[in-house]
Amino acid sequence: MDWSHPDYQNSMKKGTLVSNKFIKYFHTQVKELCTNYGKIDVLWFDGEWDHSVKQWQSDKVVKMIHKLQPQVLINDRLGTESRGHLGHFGTPEQYVPTAFPESSDPSLPWESCMTMNDNWGYSNGDKNWKSTRQLIMNLVRCVSGSGNFLLNVGPKPDGTIPAPSVKRLKEIGEWMKINKNSIYGCGKAPFGGGMVGLTTAKNSIVYLHVFRWSGKEICLAGVKDKIRSGCLLASDKKVSVSQKNDRLFIRKLPKKAPDDIDTVIVLKLR
């Protein structure tokens, strides 16, 4: 959609179809993007919620895109009924799905799209900022479900990023410097984080993200995999691991959490 275009504005009245003139304009713009600017990795559409795939002629535009840019990834916002059915990945907005987003296909890749406060664009009056802790937890929640985290910033009128956004991005960056191995290239783990947090995994390593530090011992239930060893990711300090039936006991932990937001424990599988 293009709210500023007069040919689109007419279709904003309830029950009014998008004009053929605007459809041609939209398809021509997409063709230009796919033709004049080299290889494109992602086309991220938005504004599909008031018209159908048929009205947008989305099948036609997708066919054109694939012809011009065979390798490109397309999101699932090409018409009111396109979520999970048209495009390569899902885009749940302002929430992290517990299973998989708006799709009958659980294997569909997805990314959770979220703002730092309540608005996508800059809003001077919006002071409802999510804490750095909330944002890191949301990042881990996405990775633990094999998803991506698309975090929005709304630039000010002069193009600068608001100070509260900069502060949070720097703090996330500091956490990532230490804990990046538990995020990049990771996905869903074979067991969860129980009451203390969440898990991510890569190859034969499970990363336990501890948001609620329980003291010198952690117990996880439902662990069927055999754990060979464990250590703190930030310091490489070894921890004691033992198992009884499906319970994993992690001991010799510091009494106080080394990281107030998320202390990551590395668990190596046998």
Both 42 and 5 in one domain: the answer is yes
Domain match, 57 and 81 both: yes
Which pTM does this prediction carry?
Answer: 0.91
Same domain, 216 and 262: yes
258: Cα separation from own chain's centroid: 26
pLDDT for 14: 80
Taking only the tens place, the pLDDT of each residue in 148-194 is 999 999 999 999 999 999 999 999 999 999 999 999 999 999 999 99
- Residue identified by tokens 């011009």 is 68
In a domain, 52, yes or no: yes
pLDDT at 108: 81
205-219 pLDDT tens trace:
999 999 999 999 999
Task: Show the domain range for 161.
Answer: 90-187
Residue 139, H or E segment: helix 132-144
User: What is the pLDDT at residue 39?
Assistant: 97
Percentage of the chain surpassing pLDDT 90?
81
Give per-10-residue mean pLDDT for the chain (270 aa).
Answer: 89 86 95 97 89 91 96 92 79 82 63 96 96 98 95 96 98 98 97 97 98 96 97 97 97 96 97
Predicted confidence at residue 44, as pLDDT, reads: 95
Element (H, E) at 23: helix 20-36
- State the total domains in the chain: 3
Q: Is 233 left (phi over 0), alpha (psi -120 to 50) or beta?
A: alpha
Give the CATH number of the domain where residue 211 resides: 2.60.40.1180
> Using an 8 Å Cβ cutoff, are 168 and 183 in contact?
no
Tell me what pLDDT residue 103 has: 46
Give the contacts of 235 (CB within 8 A, at least 6 positions apart). 258
Residue 99: per-residue pLDDT: 58
